[in-house]
Amino acid sequence: MEALLSIVTGMLFMVSMYFILHRHLFKLILGLILFGLATNLFMFVAGGLTRGNSAILKQDQEVAIEPYADPVPQALLLTAIVIGFGLQAFAIVIIKRVYQVYKSNNLDDLANNDNIEH
Partner 1 sequence: MSQHLLVLLPLLLPLYGAILCLPFWKRSLPQQWVAGCTQVCWMASAAMLIYEVTTTGIVKTQIGNWPAPYGITMVADIFSALMIGASTIVGFAVYLFSLRGLNESRKTYGYYPMLLLLQMGISGVCLTGDIFNLYVWFEVLLISCFTLLALGGTKAQLEGTIKYVTINMLASGLLLTGIGMVYSLTGSLNLAELGRLVRQPGSDLSLVNIASIFFLIGFGIKSAIFPLFFWLPASYHTPPIAISAFIAGLLTKVGIYTLIRLFTLVFIMDRNFILPLLLVLSGLTMVVGVLGAASQTDFRKILSFHIVSQIGYMLMGLAINTPLAIAGSVFFILHNILVKTNLFLISGVVAQRHKTFALKKLGGEYLKNPFLAILFLLSALSLAGIPPFSGFWGKFMLAKAGLLNENYSIVATSLAVSLITIFSMTKIWNEAFLKPKPDNNGSEKEVVTSEEKQASRYLLVPVVLLAGIILFIGLYAEPVISLSIRAAEQLKNTDLYINAVLNR
- Complex with partner 1: residue 61 or 115, whichever CB lies closer: 115
72 binds partner 1 (CB under 8 A): yes
Residue type, 29: I
| Distance between CA atoms of residues 26 and 28, nearest Å | 5
> Which helix or strand (DSSP H or E) is residue 47 part of?
none
- Complex with partner 1: residue 47 or 69, whichever CB lies closer: 47
Count of residues binding partner 1 (CB under 8 A)? 39
Question: Which of 52, 50, 87, 94 is closest to 72 using CA atoms?
Answer: 50
114 binds partner 1 (CB under 8 A): yes
Residue type, 54: S
The 8-class DSSP code of residue 51 comes to -
- Complex with partner 1: residue 52 or 99, whichever CB lies closer: 99
| Distance between CA atoms of residues 79 and 85, nearest Å | 10
30 binds partner 1 (CB under 8 A): no
Decide: helix, strand or coil at residue 23. coil
12 binds partner 1 (CB under 8 A): no
Residues that bind partner 1 (CB under 8 A): 20, 28, 32, 35-36, 38-40, 42-43, 46-48, 72-73, 76, 79-80, 83, 86-87, 90-91, 94-95, 97-98, 101-102, 107, 110-118
